[in-house]
Amino acid sequence: MIGEFNILIGFPTERDIEPCFQPMRELPVLLWNQRNLNPIRPREINFIKLPVESRWPNLLKEIGAFPSTSQARKNGWNKDIPDGWSEVKIGRRFIFVLKITG
């Protein structure tokens, strides 16, 4: 899946990334914009790489979902990011996270 924000944390390899963020290489030639039905070109997947010790408040501040880590904590995000695959929706933003620590 490709979200608005695609986050890699820790030490994921290409082998870890491929099943989670498919289709990475097989994007269709044209995608359709849902608002006005005009064809748009697919974009390359951009990943945001964060260190292993990152927590949800740090990540959410980094992508601009909250103005500060303290605001993210006050809104219930004061927790660790679990290992593996995570999908969250904050407002209208889709955030996909792959965390590999080992």
Is residue 23 predicted with pLDDT exceeding 70?
no
Q: Are 76 and 70 in contact (CB under 8 A)?
A: no
Q: Six-digit token pair at 98? A: 């792959």
Q: Identify the DSSP state of 65.
A: S
The alpha carbon dihedral of 31, 37, 40, 45 has a sign of negative
User: Residue 87 is part of which domain span?
Assistant: 5-100
Query: At which residue do the structure tokens 């899946």 appear?
Result: 1
User: Among residues 15, 62, 24, 17, which one has the least CA distance to residue 43?
Assistant: 24
pLDDT in tens, 49-100: 889 999 999 999 988 889 999 999 999 999 999 999 999 988 888 889 999 9
Number of domains in the chain: 1
- In this prediction the pTM is 0.73
